[in-house]
């Protein structure tokens, strides 16, 4: 029951529109510079320094750029896994071996994605990762992540839980996307850290 006089908490859909509107005002130079800074910050994470396998993703549009980070991880001989979107919105995985290993894939009316062009390793491949890098639109002071709403990474997190796998969960965002609170549901899981161009913030384990 709502409380009279208390403003309603914005719903996820409204917040997604607001964060995307801000991202869409960024220039290509803004995105590129943020990606370089983000890679530098992320590589300072001890979890990434000791990781042998990292599940990541290729940024698209105005998302914080990830290619610099992917190439830096490869230069450290890290096995980098990238997602491929399945028809039911679940994710398969393949290896990243450089920009030449990517294919641009158009999924119906959705945004085109860059996916691994080589062998598919199966949805369970993510359970071998030491670190999972998550896309998102915001994260709050509890470590709760606001995603785009497709549910793909909810499935990934549920798969990790079923497999009793415990990789470090790290979301990559712009500085302005670390906020006090985002709406969360019972199935949502907190991340362990957020990396932005200006630094790293860790969240207490729950």
Q: Which helix (H) or strand (E) holds 54?
A: strand 53-55
Distance from C-alpha of 67 to C-alpha of 156, rounded to nearest angstrom? 21
150 labelled as ligand-binding?
yes
The token pair that represents 117 in the structure block: 């062009």
14 labelled as ligand-binding?
yes
145 labelled as ligand-binding?
yes
146 labelled as ligand-binding?
yes
Angle made by CA atoms 86, 149, 132, in degrees to the nearest 5 = 65
110 labelled as ligand-binding?
no
152 labelled as ligand-binding?
yes
Neighbouring-strand partners of residue 171: 134, 194
Cβ–Cβ under 8 Å, residues 154 and 147? yes
Sheet with 131-134, side-by-side order of all strands: 91-95, 79-85, 53-55, 131-134, 168-172, 193-196, 199-202
148 labelled as ligand-binding?
yes
159 labelled as ligand-binding?
no
57 labelled as ligand-binding?
no
58 labelled as ligand-binding?
yes
147 labelled as ligand-binding?
yes
198 labelled as ligand-binding?
no
22 labelled as ligand-binding?
no
Distance from C-alpha of 197 to C-alpha of 65, rounded to nearest angstrom? 10
Annotated binding-site residues read 12-16, 58, 63, 145-153
Point out the annotated binding site for ATP: 12-16, 145-153
Q: Which residues are annotated as a binding site for substrate?
A: 58, 63
């Amino acid at each position: 029951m709502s409380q009279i006089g208390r403003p309603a908490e914005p719903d996820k859909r409204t917040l997604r529109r607001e964060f995307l509107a801000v991202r869409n005002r960024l220039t290509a130079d803004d995105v590129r510079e943020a990606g370089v800074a983000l890679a530098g910050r992320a590589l300072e994470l001890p979890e990434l320094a000791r990781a042998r396998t990292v599940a990541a993703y290729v940024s698209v549009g105005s998302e914080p750029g990830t290619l610099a980070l992917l190439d830096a991880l490869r230069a450290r001989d890290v096995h980098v896994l990238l997602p491929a979107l399945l028809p039911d919105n679940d994710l398969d995985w393949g290896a990243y071996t450089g920009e030449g290993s990517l294919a641009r894939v158009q999924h119906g009316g959705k945004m085109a994605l860059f996916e691994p062009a080589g062998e598919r390793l199966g949805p369970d491949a993510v359970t071998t990762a030491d670190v999972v890098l998550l896309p998102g639109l915001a994260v709050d002071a509890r470590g709760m992540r606001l995603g785009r709403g497709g549910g793909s990474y909810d499935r990934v997190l549920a798969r990790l839980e079923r497999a009793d796998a415990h990789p470090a969960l790290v979301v990559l965002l712009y500085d302005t996307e670390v906020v006090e609170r985002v709406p969360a549901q019972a199935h949502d899981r907190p991340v362990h850290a957020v990396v932005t161009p200006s630094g790293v913030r860790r969240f207490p384990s729950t």
